[in-house]
Amino acid sequence: AGLFFKTWLMQAPKNMTKAKQDAVVDTLEAEVNKISDNVKAIRHQMKEAKGLHNTTEELAAKLQGKDKEMLKSMDVWDERMNKKAEVGALNVLSKLKNAIHLIKKGALNGDGKANDRLNDVLKSMGAMTR
């Protein structure tokens, strides 16, 4: 999402009509809502995984050697990947909200200072994809 909006906003003209700015803001806000829902789903899944921890412990008690180690490493990997996905989503969310704020402030309507800050946000979005 971040890379798409970076390229999309970089190609936007410096002066847009109010209607086009509103359309851009609406699109960005819709994306913010989707990403917020994804973050909620990740957090819900993490809670469910912690709730199943006792079941996993019971299963691990019945397993021996490498199977037991593999089960534990899968749990650690799952938790790490969920946290990584959540942090990444929150980072994109922050950048999109910042872009919305700057567009509303006039970044696409001739305000040079807001436009410079918007370009900085877009550059940082590009750095996130590497």
CA–CA distances in Å: residue 114 to residues 50, 104, 109, 127 = 44, 9, 9, 20
For residue 79, give the nearest of 58, 53, 59, 54 by alpha carbon.
Answer: 53
Is the pLDDT at 128 greater than 70? The verdict is no
Contact indicator for 103, 25 with CB cutoff of 8 Å: yes
Is the pLDDT at 93 greater than 70? The verdict is yes
Report the pLDDT averaged over residues 63-73: 88
Which of the listed ranges 16-20, 90-94, 106-110 does the model predict with the highest average pLDDT?
Answer: 90-94
Contact indicator for 115, 107 with CB cutoff of 8 Å: yes
- The more confident residue out of 81 and 4 is 81
Report the pLDDT averaged over residues 106-125: 86
* pTM for this predicted structure: 0.75
Distance CA 103, CA 115 (A): 8
Is the pLDDT at 6 greater than 80? The verdict is no
* HSE toward the beta carbon, residue 6, CA cutoff 13 A: 17
Distance CA 54, CA 75 (A): 12
Report the pLDDT averaged over residues 77-102: 93
Q: Parse the chain into domains and list their residue ranges.
A: 2-10+17-128
For the chain, give the percent of residues with pLDDT over 70: 88
